[in-house]
Amino acid sequence: MMLPRALPGLVASAVLAVLAAVPASAATDGDSASLFPRALEGHGGPVRSVALSPQVDRALTSSFDYSAILWALDDGEGRELTRLEGHEAAVNDALFVPGSERAVTVSDDGSLAIWDLSTSEMLKRFEGPGDKVLAADVSDDGRFAASAGWDGTARLYDIAALTETAVLEGHRGNVNDVDFSPDSRTLYSASYDGTIRAWDVETGSFIRQIYGHGWGLNIVRALPDGANLLYGSLDGSAGIIEIESGRTVVDLAVHQGPILSADISSQSGLALIGGADGTVRVYRTADWILLHTFENPNGPIWGAALSPDGTAAILAGLDDSAFLWQITPRKAFEPPLGDYPRRFQVQNDADPGELQFARKCSVCHTLTRDGGNRAGPTLYGVFGRKAGTLEGYVYSDALKHSSIVWTEETIAQLFDDGPDVVTPGSKMPVQRLKTVEDRDALIAFLKRATKPEAPAPGQ
């Protein structure tokens, strides 16, 4: 790691004060590590993001199952308060709006939504151009939201007025992340084109390019000092950029895969970075000394929320739950997050139909009566069932009014022609199979595995 002689805006006395205030170990009474739940369990698909409320008494998670969940954090228990449903694809990010009972979510369906958390009502959904929206941010003053879109734009929204105020164009690739400055006056956007750009929030006008990197950028975070940015790249590198000069003042440890998540706690003076390699690193922002490393062999860290006191973090990845990592005091044994193999990770020598189900269908669908619904309904008893009729699942209007009855022939047509042709307007993602043999093997497996009273695979 490269350290500058003096970080901009820091003096020796300030550094010493921060170092004294933030011990590398030893948690205090009532710390987050003891109050947070071990896991937030309730989603029906991998969790994409996690955020903590300003009062740290609630959490928001978003998931591949098309929903976000609001949780109460009650003395070690994660209690589901409400589920936010209305997007038509995976929900990639969910955030609290400071000073209000509102939240913001963004989705693979290309939209940003604003919610009333007290009623679970979607107040407004901005559909956008159709390309996925990977990330969002909300300004600290609670006035604005921003989205990062794969159409190459960032977008600004007035939360109170429920209006889109600006489309920020100029990146030459997907916009992967956005973040507001601490004073809420500037928005920073990070793109696959390797650049970070600055925009005026009030006018939506382009200010200037802050930084250029040799690889695409997934993460940008404005530091509390207002003078520096944290970035994370597709090549696994991360660092600190001085905004005024655009130069890198700190190089952080390189991950063995893309950087996927980051969070900063101004209260504790800590920053957390998570990667596709499953590695999580926690740094002290006063001098960017690495304090803690956690390695999860079971998959990437898509989302992370660092507690204000720095004693714990909630991490999200390929599992249907978000998990607690106790940072201080460190545990002698830290088990991996979640289970491996998961339902969509089976051996290559498995039954060919089961293999196709695991790869193509299992993230969205279960097979058993009590398996519950994920992004799609359970397939238990699907043969002979009229589309859009399973009780307890919220179908799109297209399937509610469909005349399709699921048979070997109609399921085959679904894979041959695609849901955009067979069930236009439905929430089903397009899934392609390489060969007719793969399709027939999948259908044969489904006939066996979804037959009423049939045992679940492997039982």
| CA 24 to each of CA 20, 225, 268, 283, 291: distance values in angstroms, whole numbers, following the listed order | 10, 21, 10, 10, 7
Q: Are residues 294 and 428 in the same domain?
A: no
Paired tokens of 29: 């009474």
Looking at residue 102, its pLDDT comes to 98
Asked if the structure places residue 7 within a domain, the reply is no
Give the closest residue to 159 by CA, choosing from 224, 80, 91, 98: 98
Whole-Å CA distances, 74 to 33, 80, 129, 207, 273: 13, 11, 40, 44, 26
Give bridge partners of residue 212 from the DSSP assignment. 195
Q: Report residue 264 as tokens.
A: 């900063």
pLDDT 10s per residue in the chain (459 long)? 443 333 433 333 333 333 333 343 333 445 787 788 999 999 988 999 999 999 999 999 999 988 999 999 977 789 999 999 999 889 999 999 999 999 999 999 999 999 999 999 999 999 988 889 999 999 999 999 999 999 999 999 999 999 999 999 999 999 999 999 999 999 999 999 999 999 999 999 999 999 999 999 999 999 999 999 999 999 999 999 999 999 999 999 999 999 999 999 999 999 999 999 999 999 999 999 999 999 999 889 999 999 999 999 999 999 999 999 999 999 888 888 887 767 666 666 678 888 888 877 887 888 888 766 677 888 999 999 999 998 878 787 888 888 999 999 999 988 888 887 888 877 677 677 889 998 999 999 999 999 987 455 555
Residues 360 and 414 in one domain: yes
Residue 188 belongs to a domain: yes
pLDDT of residue 113: 98
Residue 267 forms part of a structural domain: yes
Distance of CA 354 to the CA centre of its chain: 28
Give the whole-angstrom CA distance, residue 169 versus residue 188: 13
pLDDT on residue 51: 98
DSSP per-residue codes, 246-298: --EEEEPPPPSS-EEEEEEETTTTEEEEEETTSEEEEEETTTTEEEEEEE-TT
Q: Distance between CA atoms of 418 and 403, rounded to whole angstroms? A: 17
Residue type, 72: A
122 and 51 assigned to the same domain: yes
Q: How many domains does the chain have?
A: 2
Task: Give phi and psi for 114, each to the nearest 5.
Answer: -115, 130
CA angle 272-277-283, nearest 5°? 20
For position 341, what pLDDT does the model report? 67
**CATH at 385:** 1.10.760.10
Task: Look up the pTM and report it.
Answer: 0.82
Domain identity same for 291 and 152: yes
How far is residue 420 from each of residues 88, 92, 404, measured CA to CA in Å? 13, 22, 14
Q: Is residue 454 one of the residues assigned to a domain?
A: no
Phi/psi at 88 (5° precision): -110, 20
Is there a single domain that holds both residue 71 and residue 118?
A: yes
CA distances from 75 to 31, 132, 315 (A): 11, 36, 18
DSSP 121: E
For residues 307 and 364, state if they share a domain: no
Quote the domain boundaries for residue 252.
12-23+35-326
Report DSSP letters for 23-48, one per residue.
-SS-PPTT-HHHHS-SEEE--SS-EE
